[in-house]
Amino acid sequence: MGKPKKLDNVYLGLVYLFIYLPVLILFVYSFNDSKLNIVWEGFTFDWYIKLLSSSSDIMSAFWNSIMVATWTTIVSTIIGTLGAIGMSKFKFPGKKALDAVLYIPIVIPEIVLGIALLSYFTTIKIPLGMTALIVAHSSFCIPFVINNVKARLAGFDRSVEEASMDLGANRWQTLTKVTLPIIMPGITAGAMLSFALSMDDIIISFFVTSASSTTLPVKILSMVRTGVTPEVNALCIILLLLSIVLVGGANLINARRDKNYGLDS
């Protein structure tokens, strides 16, 4: 009985190695003293210092991505959460059609969506830039929020809301003090997914960005032809560590909330 378990651990270790080995190599070479990511020439923190102390185009693109992703997350989370609650509670004509349409931004090729959004912004005279990026990113992030929140609402006990109303709470109080805290893990998952998708998007951003609002993925893509500088490696590691902290913190907060509401079973 012990051998299969050991083999499972070996297979699991190989899978994790396959997934995280490129990240490990990126981490190592972010400390490489060479400008080339081919030969190891020594250990240095210079790339991190140069990255954090300079006002380079990379950092400008990074802050553009942060701003776009933050606003996209706010817009997508609000609209997606309210949409998911409304679709799960009420029946109305065209509900099934609307539910099906929500999957279009998820399954459609991004290049098609990017061209469509570019044509749309050009037609209604919206200038390309930050506003166009936020609207474009929100358009494909909202369905992900709706699906995450709807999954959480699928196991939601409606009697809790009825009890709240019976005890004198109005609809707004029930929504903010009962419904939203219970489904918060789904909302958090949708918000984090929206932020990650916005930060990672390159195809749609390529079509709707401007010279002054270039995002980090588009900037890195433009650097590929001439060579990616080691500062990019350092920035990727910082983003990775930040993501780990945010995900860990969100999981801890949701675990405590579920425990308080008796949902940790």
Mean pLDDT of all residues in 230-258: 77
Q: Is residue 9 part of a domain?
A: no
Cα(123)–Cα(144) distance, rounded to whole angstroms?
27
Q: Is residue 189 part of a domain?
A: yes
Mean pLDDT of all residues in 85-95: 80
Q: Is residue 105 part of a domain?
A: yes
pLDDT in tens, 188-206: 888 988 998 898 888 999 9
Give, as one character, the DSSP assignment of residue 126: P
Lowest mean pLDDT among 89-93, 179-183, 195-199: 89-93
Q: 173: which 2 tokens?
A: 């109080």
The three-state secondary structure class of 197 is helix
Instruction: Spell out the alpha helix ranges (H) of the chain.
Output: 2-29, 46-53, 57-89, 95-101, 104-107, 110-123, 130-154, 158-166, 171-174, 180-200, 203-208, 216-223, 230-260
Tell me what percent of the residues of the chain surpass a pLDDT of 70: 90
pLDDT band at 75 (very low <50, low <70, confident <90, very high): very high
Question: Taking the chain, what is the end-to-end CA distance rounded to the nearest angstrom?
Answer: 30
Cα(54)–Cα(59) distance, rounded to whole angstroms?
8
Q: Is residue 14 part of a domain?
A: no
Q: Is residue 25 part of a domain?
A: no
Question: Which letter, b or e, does each residue of 158-190 get, where b requires 16 or more Cβ atoms within 10 Å of its Cβ?
Answer: eeebeebeeeebeeeebeeebbeebbbbbbbbb
Give, as one character, the DSSP assignment of residue 212: G
Nearest to 151 by CA among 85, 71, 97: 85
Residue-averaged pLDDT of the chain: 82
Cα(52)–Cα(22) distance, rounded to whole angstroms?
24
Residue 251 class from Cβ within 10 Å (0-12 exposed, 13-18 middle, 19+ buried)?
A: middle
Q: Is residue 238 part of a domain?
A: yes
> Given this model, what pLDDT does residue 92 score?
77
Q: Phi first, then psi: what are they for 124, rounded to 5°?
A: -95, 10
Q: Is residue 243 part of a domain?
A: yes
Q: Is residue 93 part of a domain?
A: yes
Mean pLDDT of all residues in 80-104: 83
> What's the domain range around 92?
57-260
CATH (domain of 91): 1.10.3720.10
Q: Give the count of domains, the chain.
A: 1
Cα 169 to the center of its chain, rounded Å: 34
